[in-house]
Amino acid sequence: MSTIVLIHGLWVTPRSWERWIPYYEAQGHTVLAPAYPGFEAEVEALRADPSPIASLTVPETLAHLEKVITALPEKPILIGHSFGGVLTQLLLDRGHGAAGVVIDSAPPQGIRVNPPSQLRSLFPIFNNPAKRHRAAGFTPEQFHYAFTNTLPRDEARAAYDRYAIAAPGSWVWTYGLIANLTPGRRETWVDFHNADRAPLLFLAGGRDHIMPPAVNKSNHRHYKAPGTVTDYHEFPERSHWTCAEPGWQEVADYALDWALRHTEA
């Protein structure tokens, strides 16, 4: 049995893993789903007052996750969704994790693919520079387009009501579409030539609007270190909401089966 750390993305909390945790635990694994600092509160509380997360930084979040992971008795399997995918890549680059799976991952610095659907998805955060300094989120309609586009509107609204929160707007402004226009290394820089990195799998959804397959394919192709394992798999009909939309078990099984087969001794 293995230890699995599930890393959530932006605009949600660890609640987004509420089906995956018992699913993996029932198979005998130890499962942790740590919150980013400030994201520990329930969705309803953060929706009412997002100030605890407004000024959170990536380095603070990464340090918190490293503290959780290094306290474990063994190197865990890391599974990250969306921005959690970037954090997973950063953690692997720093020597953490026995294997990593990133699902619909946001890109680290250096990935210069920005499909039109991604621009449209993130426009609600970019449409006002003031959002760089506060927590910013989506309306139900915007969330439906960016996250839950494969769901009927009533199911998309139910997902929004249960899971959606605001997120630090600075993360999108600093590490999002314009990050590659800023000189120097950002906190999301990854050494794609790191030969000591644990195996890494990219899972993409063919109907993902906010992190389309082109982004994940480009990210995957950037890893070039000889002797490392970097794989890519696409679920053609799945969206960014792939960890919760119907059939999520297929994604969970594929991720864990691959990770267990590639877990370092």
- Residues β-bridged to residue 96: none
CA-to-CA dists, residue 245 to 55, 148, 250, angstroms = 30, 8, 11
Domain boundary assignment for the chain: 3-263
Decide if pLDDT at 263 tops 60.
Answer: yes
Q: Are strands 135-136 and 167-168 parallel, antiparallel or unpaired?
A: antiparallel
Q: Is 249 left (phi over 0), alpha (psi -120 to 50) or beta?
A: alpha
pLDDT at res. 130: 87
Fill in the DSSP letter of residue 258: H
Q: Can you list the pairs that 14-23 forms with residues at least 24 positions away whose Cβ atoms lie under 8 Å? A: 14/39, 15/42, 15/43, 15/162, 15/163, 16/81, 16/163, 16/243, 16/244, 17/243, 19/243, 19/244, 19/248, 20/243, 20/248, 20/252, 23/249, 23/252
In this prediction, residues 231-259 reach a mean pLDDT of: 98
Decide if pLDDT at 177 tops 70.
Answer: no
pLDDT at res. 126: 87
Tokens of 90: 């950063």
Decide if pLDDT at 228 tops 60.
Answer: yes
pLDDT mean across residues, the chain: 94
Instruction: Give the CATH H-level superfamily of domain 3-263.
Output: Alpha/Beta hydrolase fold, catalytic domain (3.40.50.1820)
Model's pTM, two decimal places? Answer: 0.96
The rounded distance, in Å, linking the Cα atoms of 177 and 251 is 27
Query: Could you report the per-residue pLDDT of 45-74, keeping only the tens digit for each?
Result: 999 999 989 999 999 999 999 999 999 999
Q: Are strands 3-7 and 167-168 parallel, antiparallel or unpaired?
A: unpaired
pLDDT at res. 139: 97
In this prediction, residues 1-8 reach a mean pLDDT of: 96
Quickly list H helices, the chain: 20-25, 43-48, 51-54, 58-70, 83-93, 116-126, 140-146, 153-163, 169-175, 213-222, 248-262
The rounded distance, in Å, linking the Cα atoms of 46 and 49 is 5
Distance of CA 204 to the CA centre of its chain: 11
Dihedral through CA 191, CA 100, CA 105, CA 129, nearest 10? -60
pLDDT at res. 184: 79
pLDDT at res. 264: 57
In this prediction, residues 145-164 reach a mean pLDDT of: 98
Q: Are strands 3-7 and 77-81 parallel, antiparallel or unpaired?
A: parallel
In this prediction, residues 211-223 reach a mean pLDDT of: 97
Q: Is 125 helix (H, G, I), strand (E, B) or coil?
A: helix
In this prediction, residues 140-146 reach a mean pLDDT of: 97
- Residue 186: which pLDDT band, with cuts at 50, 70 and 90? confident
In this prediction, residues 94-114 reach a mean pLDDT of: 95
pLDDT at res. 45: 95
Instruction: Report yes or no: 91 and 197 within 8 Å, Cβ to Cβ.
Output: no
Instruction: Report yes or no: 103 and 79 within 8 Å, Cβ to Cβ.
Output: yes
In this prediction, residues 176-195 reach a mean pLDDT of: 83
In percent, how much of the chain has pLDDT > 90? 86
Decide if pLDDT at 179 tops 80.
Answer: no
89-98, 163-172, 234-243: which range is least confident on average? 163-172
**Beta-carbon count within 10 A of 181 CB:** 7
**Directed axis angle between helix 83-93 and helix 58-70, to 10°?**
60
